[in-house]
Amino acid sequence: MEIASDIRTAPHRHFMIHKPFGYLSQFVCDKKKKKLLGEFHGFPEGTMAIGRLDEGSEGLLLLTTDGKASEFIRSRKVEKEYYAQVDGLISEEALVQLQQGVALRIEGEDYITKPCEARKLDPAPDFPERSRRVRDDRHGPTSWVSITLTEGKNRQVRKMTAAVGFPTLRLIRVRIGNFHLENMAPGQVVEIDTTSLFAQ
């Protein structure tokens, strides 16, 4: 896809961060005692998150100093892959429901999610334990599922798994387009170049 030259060559900076559990996807908040992204790196003035992860979610987040870049990425149907640890042993029937689309109530309106990729992860991924532990198997089994979306409604993955009977206990975004979380540690920041940001 053609990209306007002023976006491609602008002297802006772009980053990936592994957002830990319990942090907001922002740098300023009027609520006291909230954990913010600025704790992890000396980001340049004007840095903003491209999209967001809610406070209880973890994983890959892209940041930029360029509002046009943020708008460009958000306007494209860029794939976002999530790993969700769910309550119970997810069934094939539930996976098919996720793949075909789920009826949800989002911001007061009825919505059917677009068809997506959904598969059980076996074996389970090996992530570091988060700061607030997920309940253990004494309270019943859990399983992991990969869900890949090209849309991003508020708390969509959590609402989708709950709608098919398997509430999400832990949610980690592992990929945005060609960018992967891989072995980044929670709180780790990696600067990416402009070419990489737009080579989706």
Task: Say if residue 157 is in the same domain as residue 96.
Answer: yes
Is the link from the previous residue into 115 a cis peptide, with omega within 30 of 0?
A: no
Indicate the number of domains in the chain. 2
Q: Which two tokens stand for residue 167?
A: 């509430």
Task: Say if residue 96 is in the same domain as residue 171.
Answer: yes
Task: Say if residue 84 is in the same domain as residue 146.
Answer: yes
What confidence score (pLDDT) does residue 153 get?
A: 85
Task: Say if residue 169 is in the same domain as residue 95.
Answer: yes
Task: Say if residue 34 is in the same domain as residue 85.
Answer: no
Which residues, in sequence order, are CB contacts of 144 under 8 Å at separation 6+?
83, 84, 85, 86, 120, 121, 122, 124, 125
Task: Say if residue 133 is in the same domain as residue 146.
Answer: yes
Instruction: Return the sign of the alpha-carbon dihedral for residues 48, 53, 54, 59.
Output: negative
Task: Say if residue 86 is in the same domain as residue 158.
Answer: yes
In the chain, the N- to C-terminal Cα span, in Å, equals 9
Q: Which domain holds residue 91?
A: 80-176
Which residues, in sequence order, are CB contacts of 158 under 8 Å at separation 6+?
84, 167, 168, 171
The residue written with tokens 């709950």 in the block is: 162
d(CA 71, CA 31): 26
Which residues, in sequence order, are CB contacts of 33 under 8 Å at separation 6+?
none
Q: Residue 132 is part of a domain; what is its CATH number?
A: 3.30.70.1560
Catalytic residues: 54
Nearest to 177 by CA among 148, 134, 140, 136: 148
Task: Say if residue 88 is in the same domain as residue 168.
Answer: yes
d(CA 68, CA 158): 29
Q: Residue 18 is part of a domain; what is its CATH number?
A: 3.30.70.580
Task: Say if residue 113 is in the same domain as residue 167.
Answer: yes
For the chain, 200 residues long, give each residue's pLDDT as a single digit of tens. 333 444 444 588 899 999 999 999 988 887 788 999 988 888 998 899 998 899 999 999 999 998 887 777 776 678 899 999 999 999 999 999 999 999 998 878 899 999 999 999 999 999 988 877 887 666 789 999 999 998 888 899 999 999 999 999 999 999 998 899 999 999 999 998 756 555 55
